Each structure stands twice: as structure tokens, then as C-alpha cells.
Structure 1
Amino acid sequence: MSSWVGASSSPWLLRTSAKFFKYRPRPPPPLRLLCLAQSNDVRSDFNFVLHDALDSSGVLTSHARDAREGFCSQIRQMSDIERQTSISINRRVDLGRSALYIAAEDDSLVSHSSVPLPVDAFLSRFDDLSMDYSSHYNSSYKSSPERLLESLENYLYTHKGFRRTNARHLFETRALYLHSVLTHRSGSTALLSLIYSEILKMLRLWGLLDFDVEIFFPHDRHSLPRAYPKKKSKESDYAHIMTSQALLVEILRNLKEAFWPFQHDQSGNLFLRAARAANFIDASNEGDSGFQLASAKAAQHRLDRGVWTSVNFGDMRRALSACERLILLEADSKELRDYSILLYHCGFYEQSLEFLKLYQDTKTRPQLRRSSNSSTDLEEDAVEKLMIRLKLILMEDGWSRPTYVRNFLGNSSDPW
């Protein structure tokens, strides 16, 4: 099999969609990762692409930008201590509002609605849930903490019918957005934990909860989030306590995985899937399966018809959006790398190189160094090849963006 660097110079997916935008360049960001909490201007820190690219293609992003700013206004309040604070005792950051801003931005990206998602209206549903519980189970407040929490779980999971869903396909992804979970009562573990903690917060504000509570976040595929009195915590419970930052990261990584545009390849992590996808369009690569080659060519055909997303091939808009917000959260330097390879597949080579350099710069910090293993070696080898390939592309004589626009982003045709 030929190496990735030696493959065809045309990226596998969405190479034309962004490459042909009349992109309005901005000064490159400094090659360092800034703390968002210290900045009042998000765009001065990172040269993000998504919103400007959509604007350039004729898609209005005012609601998406407002939602992103709302999300940033919340995470700006996250001090180092706040990031490690349990969601059940969080005070400064409104996690429910933050999750709804995530939903509002993605809703604007895919619906192109002239009306923004009503964040405040969905926030009021937490009040409604808490009030309804109070009216049905007021006798529980006089019982033991265990009985009160048992009655609350009975209310949520039996009376109200909230249930857990593992969203693995695009048609199930409403379980990954808080407004949909509040409406349909089917959601991811992270969002069920958030709803649970928001109700506890309301009960505490009303003076109906006079003891500290922790929420047990299950790491299996079936269990539901449960609460227990904090004084009964065991050391083994610590791994199941969800902090404020960890919750937002979990929500965004669920979205990133669900909408990653390389769904045909289920082996390895997301970055390696995208790295392998760069070779699949090159039919000369020996060893590529017929299914992989057919999938790649089918994706290119859909793009030529203006289809931006499909059930089996992810959604580049929402994958990029999740990556950008994960970078703002400073969750992991690898988010810079993953965002870079998406930009590469979109044809934004300069910006892809900028974020790859950011990743390599943060990688040199001692606290970010990892022990070597086969998976890490594969990833780092792919990073080096991506860096070489980007530099070669940008060094090509006469390489420039075409002056016309192929309006794939503006002619979105979702399959539902």
C-alpha cells in the first residue's frame, strides 16, 4: 500500500466544498494555546473556519455565532477549581444553559432557521420538572436522604419515563442534544446526568435538599445515572463522579463521534480513520477493500450533487463545530490535531497547517508527553505525514484558491 503522503493530492472527502469558498483570510493565531477564561474575544485566539466558511457560501450564521458566544460566556467562568467541581455542587457555570447553547448552534447550522432555538424556554423545563416532583413527592422530604433520592429516581425514570439511549447513527442523535432529551425523554448518559443535577440544584435552591449529593456516572452501556448522599462516598466512587468540564467534554465528544465524517471505517480512533480515508480514493492502493473504495467514490458523487451529509457518512459541519468547542474548553491538545485533519479534508490547507503546528507546540510540554505504544506511534506517524503533505501542497507552484464558489454548504440536502 502506498504511503499517505504519496497518495493522490486530492483529499478524500469535502475537498471541493471548502476549497472553493471565497474565504476571507484573517491573521494567523499565535502558535500557543490560550486560556479562554483570560480572553474576552474568542476569535482573537483561534483562527476557526466553520462560521466564516458558511457565511462565504451564503449561509447566514448569526444565530450560530450568538449560540457560540453564549457557550463561551459560560466557560469563561470556569476557573481551574470550577473545572474540577462535581456537577452536583457546581455554582458558577450554568451547565444546562451551556448544553443548550451547544444544541442551539448545531440547530442553526443544519436547519438554517430564521428563528434561534429558544434556550430560555427549554431552561424553564427544569423548573417545571422540579415543581412537578415537589407537588407529587413532598412527603419524601421528611424521609431519609436515601428515600428522597429513591423517590426522585422513580419520578425521573418511571413516572416521567426518561431513558438512556446510545446514539450510534445520525437518526438517533437527538439523544445527544439537551432540548431533544427534555422533549423526547431519551438521552445519553451525560445529558441524563445533567438533567438529574439540574433538578437537584433547584431543590437545593428551594431549601428542600439539606444534604450533599453526588451523582454516580456509569461507564457501562446500560446503567442509568444514580445519586447518593456524599457522606457515603467510597474511594471507588471517585472514578464515577462527573466534573463540570468533564461533562461538557463528554457531551461534545459524543457529538464529535456521532458526526465524524468517516463512518464506514470503525477501526481505530477518529483521527486514524480520517488519516486512512485520505488513501481510500486512490484506487492504486493495494489492500483497500472494494467497500472502502466504493464508499469513498459514493461520497464524492454525493458532494458533486450538493449533498452535505448522510446517515452513513457523518456531518462535517457538526463535527467541525464540536471540535472547535472542544478546543475552546482546552480539553486535550489532540483536539487541535483532529480539527486539523478535518480542515485538511475540507481543503483549508493553510488553516489545517496552523492547527497542526499548534498541536505539535503543545505536545512539547512535559505534562502532555505520553508513553509510547503502538497506537500512539501510528497517530504520530500520521501527524508527521500530514505535516509533510500540507507543506508540499502549499509549496506547489501556482496553488491558489479558485475565484468561484461551489455552493455545497449552501445547498445542503439532509436525508431526513
Structure 2
Amino acid sequence: MSCAAVCAPRSALGCRFSSSSPAPGGGRRRRRRSSSVRARAAAEEEGGSAGLPRMVLHDSLDAAGVSTVHARAAREGFAAQLGRLTRVAAGTSIAFSQGADLARAALCVAAEDDSLVSHSSVPLPVDAFVARLDDLSAGFCGGRNFPPSGAPPEVFFDYLDRYLYVHKGFRRTNGVSDVRAMYLHSVLTCRSGSALMLSLIYSEVLKTVQIYGLLDFSAEIFFPHDPNSLPRGYNKHRSKLGDEPHIMTSKSLLVEILKTLKGTFWPFQSNQSSSLFLNAVAANHHGPGTLGDNQARSHGNISVIEMAAAKAAQHRLMRGVWTNVRFGDMRRALAACERLILLHHDPCELRDYAALLYHCGYYEDCLEYLTSYQTAMAGKSPITPWDILEDEAVNTLRARVSLILAEDGWSSHRRPAANYWTKNSEPW
């Protein structure tokens, strides 16, 4: 769509962008990646980022005979966007257009997860959904949806809110009850999504308005932390200090998307009151008492029903079955952990990823990630009681893995993938 075609219905609105302004779906998202970005993406795909150990998910699936062509391509697309996420851009609000293309990054996350669970011979059409998002943004900028020229910021945001939440029918839903709410392509299709996805869509529309030069004030997006509110824009010049916690930056948005996916698909959730890591370390045939006296006391009152659920979850995991989110999805949990590690967000992601590797039988890789975590945390003392418990669990897991590797007959050439990803691992 040419700029003239977009500008034509807005003649009465006082179109303020020049004929050289980009058209919807233009170079903003579809510019070619440089060879240096491709090289960085390839290095990160192999787990070589910042000298970290390898990432095993794709290789383990390949070893089990599961094609990862589309999953690897999606991961490369995600890593390419991270290559554009400079330190300045990472801390910039999602209301501004610079750095990584957050929408494409989110769609690459969805494309990889779709490939991991569907085994489709056709990849998720990322470009088609990017174009759909562009059309959504252009639809606001043209015709009666856009406010009159010179309208104050309050009127502008009233028009935008009405366009998204009334005219287009986007609504908020809980991602835990419906995992589709956490994937951008599903939200664009079903018009129902989490606060994170709705904030991302809101920001994309704002960016398009800014690119066209139709915004003469500084806009900001208020991200809701309560369970019912919707993301809404406001005039940044009238913001208050108390608004700061409600401003989502580019990096924090990606982190929250991945942490939500990780928490939803984490395979060990028998005890909702503890951390994901402690649940994973406790979920083994030795029972919770192997985590030391403190951790044994923490889990000592676990019910028979909870223990049965944990054993059932372990049985399902060993068969590769994850039809119930309550019992997790090992593939998507591993994928979320690997992408969080690429973001260099928190050393604790190394520890959590190691816990999943332990359950998949990748003991040497698990030990390497535990070592990387402890190196990153050297000199830092635990603060909360949970920190103390998790530190003890890290030492326990490391000792357990070291004993396993020391057993007679263990070989680094052993292939645990063939045991974990079985022919029964289809999601249906």
C-alpha cells in the first residue's frame, strides 16, 4: 500500500507526513538483516552466546528423529531481533519505535513453539501476521477511526481505545486458562489476549502513528498489573512518578512474555507456593527429603494427593505427554528458558534451565549450567528464605549430578534424547 493511498482518506485530518514516509508493512519490519546479525544469530542458536554451554533442545529433538528446521529458523529470527536490542533500546518504553521489532520477535516465539508441538510441515506464517498487524495499525490511521486534527491527547487515546477495544473487539483474558492468549498470532486471530499481548498491539499502533508523523505529543502506555484492566495510553508530559512501575520497556516486555510461557509450561508444579526451581529439584524418585533438612521441612507436609500428582507428572514427562498444562510441557519450557538465557536477563535462568536438563538426562550439560550459574552469583549472598532454600537445592542438585556422572558405565557419548523424546511424544 502506497503512502498516498493511506494518506488520501485522511486529507481532512491534516496528514502531516511526507511522501517519503514508510508505508504499512514497509522497511520497519522487513529490512534485510546484515551478515553480522546473521552470524550472531547463528552463534546464539548453537548456544555460543557469551561463552555459555550449548543449548540442547533442538539437537536432542534432531537426535530423536524430530525435525527442527522450522523451530531453528524461528529461533534464528528471534535471535536476530535480539541483535538489534541495544542497551539503550532495551530500556526504552515500548511506546517508541526503535531497536528490535518486538512484534516480529513475539511472532518468532510463537512460530518456534508451534513447530515444537505441532510438527507441521508448514511453518507459522510470521510475515502474514506482521502484515495483519500493519493493516490493523493502518486501519486506525485512516478514515473515521482517527481523531480530528489538533485533538488533545485525551481525545486521541479515547479514539484509539475505542478502535481497539470496541470496534476491533480486543479483550483481555487469562493466559493460564487459555495458552492462546500468550501468542501474538492467536491474539490477532481471536481478538482475545493477555495484558502483555494487548500492550504489544497497542504499542505497534502507536509506533505506526509516530512513523507517519501524526503525533505531536509524547505518548506513553500504562501497563496494568491488576487482573482486569486494559493497557491504555496517556500523555507522557502529564505523567507522575507513580506511573514508572506501569511503563513496560522493550526488554522487560520480552522477559515477561517468556517468563509467563516458562511458568505456564513448567513441568513440575505440584507445590504452587514454592519456586519453579525447587519444584523441579524435588520432583524425582527420591522424594522431597533429598533436598536437605530445610527443604525437607518446607515440603514435609505435602499431601498424598500432591505426591500422587507429582508421580503422575513424572510418568507423563517420561512418555513425552503434555496434553494437560497442569503437568507442563517440557519442550516449550526448555524453549522459554533458552530464549531467556539469550536475553541475558537473570543468572537464575541458567539454574532453572539446568534443572530441566537434569530431568531430560543431560547431566553433563546440567552440571555446566550449574557451574555457570554459581560463577555468575559468586560473591552474592542470599537475602530471602527462598534464596537460602534455592542455594541449598543448587548444591544438592550439583552433588546429585556429580554422583551420577561418577557412576560406572556413564559415558559422555550416551544419548539421553533417545530415551526422553520417544515415539509417544506427540502432543496429541
Provide the TM-score with structure 1 as the length reference: 0.84
| Counterpart-to-counterpart distance in 1, 2:392 and 2:107 | 38
1:389 and 2:403 correspond: no
Q: Which residue of 2 aligns with 1:50?
A: 57
- Of 82, 86, 95, 2:93 maps to 86
Q: How does 1:187-202 map to 2 (within 5 A)?
A: 187-202=193-208
2:311 counterpart (285, 291, 297): 297
Shift of 1:131: 2.4
Query: Sequence identity of aligned pairs in percent?
Result: 54
Letter aligned with residue 164 of structure 2: L
Alignment partner, residue 421 of structure 2: 408
Q: What are the superposed Cα offsets for residues 347-381 of structure 1, whole Å, 9 maximum, x if unpaired?
A: 1100000101110011026xxx3552211111111
CA shift, 1:327, in A, is: 0.3
User: Aligned partners of 2:201, 2:82: CA distance in 1, in Å?
Assistant: 19
Aligned residue in 1 for 2:146: 138
**Alignment pair present for 1:119 and 2:133:** no
Residue in structure 1 matched with residue 68 of structure 2 by the alignment: 61
| 2:238 alignment counterpart | 232
CA contact (8 A) 1:281 1:297 kept: no
Counting only pairs closer than 5 Å after superposition, residues 5-20 of structure 1 correspond to structure 2 as none
For 1:354-369, list aligned pairs within 5 A.
354-364=368-378, 369=380
1:260 aligns with 2:266: yes
- 1:242-289 Cα offsets, whole Å, 9 max, x none, are 111000001100100110001332121211111222367589997542
Report the 3-state secondary structure (helix = DSSP H, G, I; strand = E; otherwise coil) of the residue aligned with 2:92. Answer: coil
Report if the CA contact (8 A) 1:86-1:242 is conserved: yes
In 1, the alpha carbon distance for the partners of 2:61 and 2:383 equals 39
Identify which range, 104-113 or 203-212, moves more after superposition. 203-212
Query: Deviation of residue 217 (structure 1)?
Result: 0.9
The one of 338, 341, 344 aligned to 1:330: 344
**Higher relative contact order structure (alpha carbons within 8 Å, sequence separation ≥ 6):** 1
**1:60 is matched by which residue type in structure 2?**
S
Aligned length: 375
Contact 2:282 2:288 in 1 (8 A): no
Consecutive unaligned residues of structure 1, counting only runs of 5 or more, are 1-35
Which among 69, 73, 80 is matched to residue 80 of structure 2?
73
Amino acid at match of 2:427: D
What code does the residue aligned with 2:356 have? L
Cα gap change, 1:405 to 1:93, in 2 (>3 Å): closer
Contact 1:54 1:410 in 2 (8 A): no
Change in CA separation of 1:38 and 1:70 when aligned onto 2, cut-off 3 Å: closer
Higher alpha-carbon deviation: 263-272 or 82-91: 263-272
Is the aligned partner of 1:344 residue 2:344? no
- Whichever residue aligns with residue 247 of structure 2, its letter is I
Q: Does 1:353 align with 2:359?
A: no
AA aligned to 2:355 is I
Check the 8 A contact 1:280/1:293 in 2, yes or no: no
Kindly report the root-mean-square deviation, in angstroms, between the aligned alpha carbons of the 2 structures: 2.4
Partner of 1:241: 247
Aligned to 1:176: 182
Whole-angstrom CA distance in 2 between matches of 1:254 and 1:402: 31
Task: Say if 1:37 and 1:79, in contact at 8 Å, map to a contact too.
Answer: no
Within the candidate set 239, 247, 251, 2:257 is matched to: 251
Question: What's the offset of the Cα at 1:101?
Answer: 0.5
Residues 288 and 92 (structure 1 numbering): CA distance in 2 closer, same or farther, change over 3 Å? Answer: closer
What amino acid is aligned across from residue 101 of structure 2 in structure 1? D
Secondary structure, counterpart of 2:208 in structure 1 = helix
Match of 1:158 among 148, 162, 166: 166
1-side partners of 2:314 and 2:176: how far apart? 23
Q: Are 1:280 and 1:292, in contact at CA under 8 Å, matched by a contact in 2?
A: no
Measured at CA, do residues 141 and 127 of structure 1 come closer, stay the same or move farther in structure 2, by a change above 3 Å?
farther
Q: Deviations over 1:183-240 (max 9, x none)?
A: 1111111111100000011111122222211101111111111110111111111111
Q: Is the Cα–Cα contact under 8 Å of residues 267 and 313 in structure 2 kept in the other structure?
A: no
Secondary structure in 1 matching 2:252: helix
For residue 376 of structure 1, what is the amino acid of its counterpart? D
Distance 1:89 1:245 in 2: 13
Q: Which runs of 5+ in 2 are unaligned?
A: 1-36, 291-295
- TM-fit CA distance, 1:300: 4.2
Residue 403 of structure 1 deviates from its aligned partner by: 8.9
Taking structure 2 as the reference length, the TM-score comes to 0.82
Paired residue secondary structure (2:148)? helix
**Corresponding residue of 2:220:** 214
SS of the aligned residue for 2:256 comes to helix
Moved more, 317-326 or 299-308: 299-308
Q: Is the 8 A contact 1:88 1:215 kept in 2?
A: yes
Q: Distance in 1 between matches of 2:348 and 2:189?
A: 34
Check conservation: 1:97, 1:119, Cα contact below 8 A: yes
Helix, strand or coil at the partner of 1:278: coil
The answer to whether the 8 A contact 2:270-2:310 is kept is: no
How far apart, in 2, do the equivalents of 1:187 and 1:37 lie?
31
